Structure formats: structure tokens, C-alpha cells
Structure 1
Amino acid sequence: MKKLIVLFTLCSLFIAVNVMEVSADAILEIEPLISLGEAEKLDEIEIDSGPPSVNRITTKQSRQELLKGEIYSPNLLQQLQQEFSPQVVIGPDNRLRVSDTTIYPYSSVVQLIMHWEKDFIRTVCSGTLIDANSVATSAHCVIPSQGESERRGNLQRVEIIPARNGSSAPFGIAYATNIYAPQEYRVDRTSAFDFAVVNVNLDFSAAGSMMVSDLTSDVLLNNHFTISGYPGDKATELGNYFQWYHSGPITGIQDWTFRYQIDTFSGQSGSAVYYNNFGDITIGGIHSAGSVAGQYNVAHRITQASRNYMLLAASMNN
């Protein structure tokens, strides 16, 4: 069997955040970052099935208009401090391999393979289905830095493989049609804004999906969370990509990020940071980066605003 060989790159340096409080009910500016086909779907009429906060928005065009509001303070970017580097394994490696990826919630965890314009470069990330045909991941997976952009060229296509288990794709392989990411991340690459939504061209209802929620600080600090994805170091060891997970507590929180010592590695960027809420698998953050000193990893903390953004971006594909 021909092996699929995917080149992966270590994440670029990321930035810690000390953010100002902003209105929780404001809505992020949104527009398709990349349209990779089937754009005519945006003209289809939607029925009244939007997220709870916008359930009166009935067309995709009107949702796009709604999503052009600003959420972040103009002074926010001035408060950022550089301290993040590629994600790390902290101390002993406690990650465990998922033996059966078709079992929920592992079935809803996806690998994304980005195909770039130059030199057949391919990079990999992880993500999570948040409905039947939309994936939450990290913005830095699809928005390269200036240097990376010069080396890679434009993003040509994105493959999405739910529950990948080596050479097996039990639910099939989809392709991205549209990608949404906050404008603020394009201005300044920081974990506070490091999330994106990828619309795909297949229905993955059979794989299941996770709930996106703006969890309270109390919930974040008093539960164990799990990160499951596709780390590149394990792929190098085993000659293929398999799903791995690790769980642990949240050790520090800020308005738009939180920290933990859950083990990760490059390739797991974009993984959901989730917990089991009495049977409801709930995402509280999107894994982004690690500290330079290797003491902790960090995620974008889902707020009411970023939750609305993700759900609205996902609804554009329904």
C-alpha cells in the first residue's frame, strides 16, 4: 500500500495575551478568508435554523452582514507579549494512542492536510467537527506568516479526514470549500485570535460533532480537559498518522486564552480542548501553541463572541 507522506512544519512563534475586557455580546468581523470552490452556495436561502443568538437571521447574505461588526478594543494589540513557540510535550510523554477512532468523540476529530502552491509543500493540523460539515481549527493552520507565505505560496486545497487511523479514513475524505478566520489574527498573529472554521463539501453526520461553548472560569478550572489530534512526532516514529490524546487540568486562564500542561506536538494545532459534561462533549478552547520555556501549552479560550463567530461561519455551509 502506498504510504501517504505529509510534510509538517513546526509552528511559528506565537504571542501571549493580556487582554482588555470587551463586550461579550459583540460579534467578530467575518468574511471568507479563502473560497476553494462551490461559492455559489452562499446565494442559497437559509431557513430559520441559525444559532440561538441570531435565530432570526434567515439568509446567508444577512448573516454575512451581521458578522461584520467589531469585537476587539483598538488598543488590544498593543498589550500583547511574545512568549509562545511550537507546542511541547511537558515532562514525561503521557499521550495515549486512540485504538478505535470510529468511537465518539474521537470520530469527530479530524486531520487537515493543507496543500500549498510552491514545491508541493503540505502541512498538517488537527481540528474538530462542530456540525456535520464544518470544522473548527487554528487560524495559523491556514494563515501563514509572511515568511511562510513567501516559501509556500497560496493555499491550494485542504483535505479533511475525520477519525483518520493510519492509512484508514473510515468516514471518507472531504475538501474545504470556504475558510473563515478573524480579521484580527491576520493583523497580529496571537493565540487570542487563533481560531478558524473550515466548511467542507461532505456530510459527516455519522462521525458526530462536538458542542462549542463559552465556559465559565469555574468550569475551566474545575474539570479535566482532553486534547486529541494527530502529532507529527508520532507519525515520524510509526510511519503514518494516528490519533493521540492526553488529558489534564487547566492551570491558568485569561479573557481570551487559557493554559495547561496537556502534552501536544506539532500537527495537533487546531485540536479542540474539550471535556465530558455528563455525556455532552463540550469544546472550551482551540489548541494554539506552547511556551518558549516548555512549561505549558495554550489555547484560544472560546468566548460568547468567538462562539457566535464559529456557529455563524458553520451555518453558512448548511
Structure 2
Amino acid sequence: MTTRRIRRVVCATLWGSALAVSSLSASSLPASAAGPDSILSSDGSAVPSAVGAARGLASFAGTGGGSSGGSGGVVVSPGASDPLDGFSAPGSVIGSDGRTQITATTTFPYRAIVEILFKQTAGGGYYGCTGWMIGKDTLATAGHCVHKGSGGSAGFYDRTTYILTPGRNAATKPYGTCKARRLYTVAGWANSNDTNYDYGAIKLDCTVGTKTGWFGFYWQSASLTGSPATVTGYPCDKPSGTMWTMSGTVASTQTRKITYTMDTYGCQSGSPVWRVHPSYGRAAMAIHTNGGSSSNSGTRLTEAAVANLRSWRDAP
């Protein structure tokens, strides 16, 4: 199974500046000596540990409403890709395409799904991913949407290039756009390109989550096989800025991965793999990261990953 390709997107205007060199992990250990779930942040800021054990956190529907505005001038080019970006994802639409478009993007939980646009290199084109709000100013996504997967603390992408649009529906951006204040991932991804640890987060420069609400998230030691699951995001093979979803069940469970046959495409990396949970509401069990010819897969939320998401959400 191969890592999801981040699809290139075409921009009419330039955004941001040259790649910044990021700072060291918040851990007291150097990244090379840290455990695979040890946190790295793009500015080296300390991240408080999550207080108290928790199997998960509940979703919050938000206040609704919206705001005018938006970045403008940035459109997704369906099917476009950069063959040199290192993310390969053949055949992640399995058989006939079963995805359906979400047009009511201001309803919960869809308004908490975020289109992510960013640059991997200074002067290059935009790339696309998907994220999902986990707090008032924090979204979760795939690690490869914030970090190149090597180089440790120096491998973060330039946070100033990020354009983050919750609940986008084509040209309509009901909650405007936000920028990134800080990027997070873990040592297992940042040092080793290990897809078992392909998860991260973005701290926003806004508190749009109070309006959009946010997803819950949880972990369980028992198998997830057979659990209902939905993958929702912004694929680049569909019209620019449109949200698509597909539901099914978890096909198999590994220690740090789950597989499923819901269809996905480039730019859906980072999407929540979620369900309606009896305790946590609309809650994610994994983060979509990988595509394949017969199944797709996501990085499973473990106890350590849930603790990190909580820490990132609660960080100032």
C-alpha cells in the first residue's frame, strides 16, 4: 500500500514566502532520541501534556453562523499532480465511484471539515489536503500535510503559505479563511517517514471552531473491524473546493492502521475517518492517509495519538 499523493493545485496569485526553518521538538530529548509519538512543533514551542486519561473527547456542534470573505484566486486543478512530490496513490477510487457531494456544508459536522492549501516549496504551486476541527483554533490532519517526513524539526512546510477554509462549497466560503500559526507532528513521521505515525495538526490564527464546531475523537484497544465509518474531504478529482463523502465499514484493523473500501482521491489526505459514536458524537477513529487498488487506509488513533490531539488542541 502506498502513501497518498498530495495533488497539486493551481493558484492565480502568490501566497506566502520562502520556506522557514522550523525549530526543535518540544520534547526535552532531541528528535532522533525521542519516541515515535513525541511531539514536534514548527516553532519549537512547549506543548503541555494532556491532563488526565481519556478514551476520547466529544464533538461540539458550534454556534453556526458564518462570515464573508475568503482568500480568492485559488482553485483546485482536478487530476493534476506532481510526479516528483513523493506521494503515490494509484487506484484509490475502488471500482465505481461511490462518493456523494455535500452541498449543505454549513450544517454540522460538515462545516468542521477544512480545505487545506499550502506550498511544499518556495515559489512552487499549491497542494491540497483536508483537515477537521478538533477545537476552537485547532485542526487535525495527516502528518504529510504539515511535514515532508524527514529532517526532523527542519522538515516542516512553511506555515505562512497555508490557506485554511472550513465548510467551503466551491466558490462559497461561509466561514472565511484562516492562516496557520503553528504546525505539529510526531517524531515517527518527521524522522522516519513512517505512515504508522502519519498524523499532525495545525494551530489556526482564528477561533472559527466556535462557529463550525469540532469533531470528537477516540481510541479503543478492541478491533474496529466492522465499525461504521465515513470519510469526508476535499478531493482534487472533483470540481474545485467541493466536499465529498462516502460511508461504509472498517475492513481490517492493525495496531496503528485501519483499512476500508470507501473511495478517496488526492487532497483527501488528512480527512477524518469518523462515525456517530454513542459517547463521543461525530467522532474520528483514524486519519485518512493512504490509497491502494483494493482498499484505502488511515492512521489509527491510539492512546498516544489521542493524548497528542488533546495537547495540541489545548496549547495556547
Distance across 2 between alignment mates of 1:163 and 1:52: 32
1:119-150, CA deviations, whole angstroms, 9 ceiling, x for partnerless residues? 3421110010011110000011122267xxxx
1:64 equivalent in structure 2? none
Please tell me the residue identity of whatever aligns with 1:297: N
Identify which of 184, 187, 191 aligns with 2:188: 184
Identify if the C-alpha distance between structure 1 residues 87 and 106 changes in structure 2 by more than 3 Å, giving closer, same or farther.
farther
1:30 equivalent in structure 2? 39
Contact 1:260 1:298 in 2 (8 A): yes
What TM-score does the superposition give when structure 2 sets the normalisation length?
A: 0.71
Identify which of 132, 136, 142 aligns with 1:138: 142
1:113 equivalent in structure 2? 117
Residues 1:217 and 2:222 are matched in the alignment: yes
Q: Which has the higher helix share?
A: 1
1:96 equivalent in structure 2? 100
Paired residue total:
247
Considering only aligned residues, what root-mean-square deviation do their CA atoms show, in Å?
A: 2.9
| Aligned residue runs from structure 1 range 288-303, under 5 A | 288-291=289-292, 294-303=293-302
Distance across 2 between alignment mates of 1:206 and 1:163: 11
2:246 equivalent in structure 1? 246
1:270 equivalent in structure 2? 270
Identify which of 197, 207, 211 aligns with 2:212: 207
SS in 1 for 2:162: strand
1:261 equivalent in structure 2? 261
Distance across 2 between alignment mates of 1:268 and 1:116: 17
Contact 2:160 2:180 in 1 (8 A): no
2:284 equivalent in structure 1? 283
Once the 2 structures are TM-superposed, how far is the Cα of residue 212 of structure 1 from its aligned partner?
A: 1.3
Contact 1:116 1:156 in 2 (8 A): no
Please tell me the residue identity of whatever aligns with 2:222: S
Contact 1:289 1:297 in 2 (8 A): yes
Distance across 2 between alignment mates of 1:288 and 1:228: 13
Distance across 2 between alignment mates of 1:261 and 1:101: 24
Identify if the C-alpha distance between structure 1 residues 185 and 145 changes in structure 2 by more than 3 Å, giving closer, same or farther.
closer
The runs of 5 or more residues in structure 2 that have no matched partner are 1-7, 12-34, 55-87, 151-155
Identify if the C-alpha distance between structure 1 residues 252 and 245 changes in structure 2 by more than 3 Å, giving closer, same or farther.
same
1:259-304, CA deviations, whole angstroms, 9 ceiling, x for partnerless residues? 000100001000000001248111000000112xx01001000011
Once the 2 structures are TM-superposed, how far is the Cα of residue 314 of structure 1 from its aligned partner?
A: 1.6
1:31-72, CA deviations, whole angstroms, 9 ceiling, x for partnerless residues? 31x249xx7xx79xx9xx954339xxxxxxxxxxxxxxxxxx
Contact 2:137 2:203 in 1 (8 A): yes
Please tell me the residue identity of whatever aligns with 1:94: G
Identify which of 153, 164, 173 aligns with 2:168: 164
Residues 1:6 and 2:9 are matched in the alignment: yes
Residues 1:227 and 2:259 are matched in the alignment: no
| Aligned residue runs from structure 1 range 39-118, under 5 A | 51-53=51-53, 85-86=89-90, 88-118=92-122
Once the 2 structures are TM-superposed, how far is the Cα of residue 308 of structure 1 from its aligned partner?
A: 0.3
Identify if the C-alpha distance between structure 1 residues 122 and 94 changes in structure 2 by more than 3 Å, giving closer, same or farther.
same
Distance across 2 between alignment mates of 1:296 and 1:264: 10
Distance across 2 between alignment mates of 1:229 and 1:247: 12
Contact 1:224 1:249 in 2 (8 A): yes
Distance across 1 between alignment mates of 2:265 and 2:157: 25
Distance across 2 between alignment mates of 1:153 and 1:108: 23
What TM-score does the superposition give when structure 1 sets the normalisation length?
A: 0.71
Identify if the C-alpha distance between structure 1 residues 27 and 288 changes in structure 2 by more than 3 Å, giving closer, same or farther.
closer
Once the 2 structures are TM-superposed, how far is the Cα of residue 188 of structure 1 from its aligned partner?
A: 1.9
Q: Percent identity?
A: 23
SS in 2 for 1:265: coil
